[in-house]
Every structure is written in structure tokens, then in C-alpha cells.
Structure 1
Amino acid sequence: MASKNWSSKDIPSQQGKNIIVTGANSGLGLEATTVLAKKGANIIMAVRNLEKGKEAAKKIKTRQPDAKLDLMLLDLSDLHSIHRFSDEFHSKYSQLHILINNAGIMAPANRLSTKQHFEVQFGANHLGHFALTGLLLDIIKKTPNSRVVLQSSNAHNESFMKPNIHFDDLNWEKSYNRYQAYAQAKLSNLLFAYELDRRFKSNNISAIATAAHPGWTRTNLQKSFGFLVFNILNYIVGQNIHTGTLPILRAATEENISGGEYFGPTGLNGLRGYPKLIKSSDKSYDEELARKLWDVSEKLTEVKCNFR
């Protein structure tokens, strides 16, 4: 594995690969789509708003006229939309080489709900991607050397956010703390990624799962934190979109890895810098906790993940 400053130049050709990127119309998802399109991949841009998706695709095509882009509607806060996306994908494609579960919602000030009444961060960031992966699992299994990538966050191990899986109140109906809810969702992403990789291995499936976090990257996600964070700290501490997207690009394309890897920046206490292989929190590797979350996720989404 490369030890130098890893950049998009290190990404090998992605010609012939079908890659889904959730949240592909803005921020990290748009940058990942742009880079991978330049590498020759066919990108399925999974977006919640088709008009914004069309604008994003047009921008990419302006810079990369031969970019292969397929715009598809996906609202991760609605299980019905996820099922429709899966049905449409199955009607078009027989292989899925990389699924990049990138889209996310960050710390809204007030408790918001998904269409199925889950707290929106747990519901969209975790349950939505869990359901999406489960519904596409049959195609993932039959695509040699396929990969599922989860976008997590430093918030999963920040002590002030008290990251945990609150099984007694997963949807924050008793009391809502937006920071703890975000931390729960991002910890869930890692527990899911590592458990998915273990299940791939135990069932001898030619697929792996990896994860990444972008450090502090300047995106619109920080708008919910107000003027100080979005307008000041974002530009003092935050890194640019291109650099912030490198960890998930490395998790998606790094060759000669075995699964279960976690990539993130190592500079400024993990807030910025080039992506390297790092360790996540001890709790994220808790196999019993991961299995419990998996079982609850299958029950809540009514999506059964079949590995046989």
C-alpha cells in the first residue's frame, strides 16, 4: 500500500466499472463523481433532487464531455424511494462494482423524521444505506471483486459527542441531542461496514467493505452549526473539497486491500491532510454491538440481507 501523499493521480483506471455514488449532486459526492468519471467509470448518480442532479451532471459534462453518467432518483429518507431505485437499477444493470454510500445529513437543530418516522440522521445516514446495500446485495455478490464503501466521520469517536448506539431510543423520541444523534449515525456506518465485510468473508463472497472519513472539509453540511462554524472555522480549519474527498476515493479504489480498512486524513488531529490507513474507535470494532445493530436494522427496514 502506498505510503506517500496519496492523490487522485494514484487511482487506477476505472474503465468498465459501474459505480453508484449517493449524494452525487453536491459536496463530496459530486467531487467523487467527477474524479471517477475522469477515470472512465460509468457513474450512477443517486440524487434526492433530479433538477439539482441535472445541473451537477451538466457541470461535469462541461469539463469532461465523455463522462458516462446515469442520473437516478434516490431519497435515502424514504424506504419506498430506495426500493424504486433498486428496481430501476436492476432493470438496467447486471453488475455493480462499487457502491459508495456517501450521502449524509448533519446535526439539524430540530429533530426531523424520515418518511417512515425514523430520526432523520439515523434513518437516512444509516438505515437508508443499510437498506440500499441489502436490496443491491444480489448484484454485488455476483460482481467479482465488488466493493461497498461507507462514509463515516470523526464524530464517531469524539468523546464530547458521547457516541453510542442508543437501542432504548434509536430515534431520539425521548430527548433529542443533535450532536449525539449524528455521532450515533456515524458510528452505525462503521459498525455496518465492518460487519458487512465479516459477512462477505464468512460466506466466501468475492466482495469487500471499507470505510472513510473526510476530516473537516468545507461543505454545506456545516450550515446547521451557524455563522461561527460555517463562515469562520470552516475556512480556518477546513480543507478543500478535493482533498476532503480523497479518503473515500482511496477506500473505493485502493488495490491490494482485504476489506475492513478505514481511511482518513492524519494531519491536525485527523481534521485535514492526505488520506492514510487509520484505526477507528474501539467501539466501532465491537462485533456483538454490530450484530445487534444489524438485526435491528433488518427489522426496522424490513430488508433482509441474503448472503447465500
Structure 2
Amino acid sequence: MTDWTTADIPSLSGKTVVVTGATGGLGYETALALAGAGAFVILTGRNDAKGLRAIERICAQFPNALIAYEHLDLASLPSVADFAQRFAASNEQIDLLVNNAGVMALPERQQTEDGFEMQLGTNYLGHYALTARLLPQLRRAKDARVVNLSSLAHRTGAINFDDLQSKRSYRPWPAYCQSKLAMLMFSLELQRRSDAAGWGVRSVAAHPGYARTDLIPNGPGADGLSWRVGQLLQPLISQSAAEGALPTLFAATSAAAEPGGYYGPNWFYELKGPPVPAKIMPRAKDFASSAKLWDVSATLTGVSFDEIAAAA
């Protein structure tokens, strides 16, 4: 497993895949590899022009790729609902959902269209609602998987139920860490709920380590001393977006990826390297907090897994 690469991805012919945030970075590399393995891949993003360019780039590398682009803004619950409705109208099932899209450590507090703090809303709540709305299509597939992108940042994260939207006190990094802890808790809780209710969905989480993507250069402090020091060390401690996508691809395609598993790079502090089981902090395993977060998320988004499952 420590030498796992994209060459180990099995044939995905006949599989339908959705990758969020797939117009660049980790999402693009994930979509590229899955398309190369024969899956029908639907790339989603907020920037339609970037989406079309991503399609062109993939087709240039894989002329016979089965790919499409759909607009999806995870910071808008109406956009999530609209995408899910369009998807259901033309696709009977979904074999793999990769919840990859995200924003990182925004310098100033911003809100989504629905009034959520932008990082929590985009990175987590939008994906929670999307996964719930696609549950009927996931259940129709054999061994459907949901892969949720967390981060090393989850290790210092905490779910602040008293100020979940960071209205009283906003700090960029704690808000980001909270959103990534929420994604890992969601992934583990989704597996528990799937097992209990018989949904037949395999939920797996992954993180890219320190991958060189636009998230970091576009984040806060790009001109600060710590950022400049990080740039000097980057060749030693980081990896490319393509390498950073390997844990996601392992979680998405390998028969060895366990339900409820979490995968990341194998090098020091899980910063880079081939995929291996990753460290999960105790907070992410807190059953009571995870159940509470699930219920709070259903209330905030107005989307209930149980109601959708019952109506399917």
C-alpha cells in the first residue's frame, strides 16, 4: 500500500462520478485520474469558464474521456438543490461522490448566500446538504462511496457549538480547522448512519498533506515572514497537487479503503508521500459531538438524510 499510485486504480468503466471543486488543484487532478480510468466524471465548480478549460485539458490528455461540467456553488444551498435535481433527472445512480471543494483561512469573515460563515458553509455544510440530496442515487449503486476531504488542520480544530458561525469572534485559521474537523466527523458519522440504516454507502475520508495548490498562495499572510519561510522549505516538505490527490484516489477506488477509514500521506507528520491510514484526533471520534453536529447541520440546511431516505 505504501507504493500505491494512479497505476493501481482499477477500471472504472460504467461508473458515474461527481467531483466538487474540480476546475483546478486537487479536484482537477482527482477528476483527471478518474476519467483516465474510464469513469464518467462530472466536474463541478463555481467558475464555468474554468470548468470548460478543465474539460479541454482532460480531453487533451484522454481524448476518449467521458466527462461533463456542471455549475455547483457549495456556498449556496439553492445551487446545491438545483444541481442535485439536475443530476437526478439524467442519472439513475452515482457510484462515487468526492466532496473536495473548499476555501481556506479567509482573512476577513465572509458569509454564504444562506448566512453561514463562508468556510463552514462551503467546506462542510454545502457538502452535507449535497450528500443528503444525492443519497437516493448513491443507494442505487453497488458499493457507492462518498469521499470527504479533511485536512491536517483537523488536528487543532474544535466545534464551537456556542458560536458555530464565528459571529462573536472570527479568526481565519480556527474557522478553517473547525470546518475540516467537521468534514472528518461527518465522514465517520455518515458511515455509522449508513451501517445502522442499511444505506449501503461506504464513507471514507482523506487529506492531501501539504499539497501545492492555489488555496495556500491565495490565503492570508501571503506576504508575511512565515509565508516566505514556508516558500523556502516548500520543496522539502510539500508535494504536487497530483501527488496530494493520491489519498483521495485511494479512498475513492481501492478495495483496501475501509468503510469509515481516513487516509493521508505516509511521510513525517503526513505532509507528503503515498497514501496510508491517517491519524484521527480523539475529537473527531466523539460520538456525541458527531451526532449533535449531524442534527445541527440538518436544522441549518433544512436537509434531512432520514427524510430523503424514507421518501426514496
TM bin (shorter chain): over 0.9
1:271–1:4 Cα change, 3 Å: closer
Q: In structure 1, how many angstroms separate the alpha carbons of the residues matched to 2:239 and 2:64?
A: 29
2:214 is aligned to 220
SS at match of 2:273: strand
SS at match of 1:6: coil
Q: CA deviation at 1:258?
A: 4.0
TM alignment of 1:80-229, pairs within 5 A:
80-158=78-156, 163-223=157-217, 224-225=219-220, 226-227=222-223, 228=227
1:210–1:176 Cα change, 3 Å: same
Q: In structure 2, how many angstroms separate the alpha carbons of the residues matched to 1:88 and 1:234?
A: 41
Q: In structure 1, how many angstroms separate the alpha carbons of the residues matched to 2:237 and 2:263?
A: 20
Count residues in correspondence.
302
Structure 1: where are the runs of 5+ without partners? Answer: none
SS at match of 1:187: helix
Which string of whole-angstrom CA distances, capped at 9 and with x for unpartnered residues, describes residues 13-42 of structure 1?
111000000001000000011111010000
Q: Which moved more, 1:107-116 or 1:221-230?
A: 221-230
TM alignment of 1:285-300, pairs within 5 A:
285-300=285-300
Q: Which moved more, 1:257-266 or 1:80-89?
A: 257-266
Q: Which runs of 4+ in 1 moved over 2 A?
A: 227-237
SS at match of 1:300: helix
Decide whether the 8 Å contact of 1:218 with 1:235 is kept in 2.
no
TM-score normalised to structure 1 length: 0.95
Q: CA deviation at 1:70?
A: 1.2
SS at match of 1:293: helix
Q: In structure 1, how many angstroms separate the alpha carbons of the residues matched to 2:257 and 2:178?
A: 27
Decide whether the 8 Å contact of 2:211 with 2:241 is kept in 1.
yes
Two-structure CA RMSD over aligned residues (Å): 1.3
Counterpart among 62, 70, 90 of residue 60 in structure 2: 62
TM-score normalised to structure 2 length: 0.94
Q: Which moved more, 1:221-230 or 1:49-58?
A: 221-230
Q: Which moved more, 1:24-33 or 1:135-144?
A: 135-144
Decide whether the 8 Å contact of 1:217 with 1:234 is kept in 2.
no
Which string of whole-angstrom CA distances, capped at 9 and with x for unpartnered residues, describes residues 172-203 of structure 1?
11011111000000000011000000111111
2:241 is aligned to 241
Q: CA deviation at 1:257?
A: 4.2
Q: Matched residues, percent identical?
A: 39
Residue identity opposite 1:199 in structure 2: R
SS at match of 1:273: coil
Q: In structure 2, how many angstroms separate the alpha carbons of the residues matched to 1:67 and 1:294?
A: 37
Structure 2: where are the runs of 5+ without partners? Answer: none
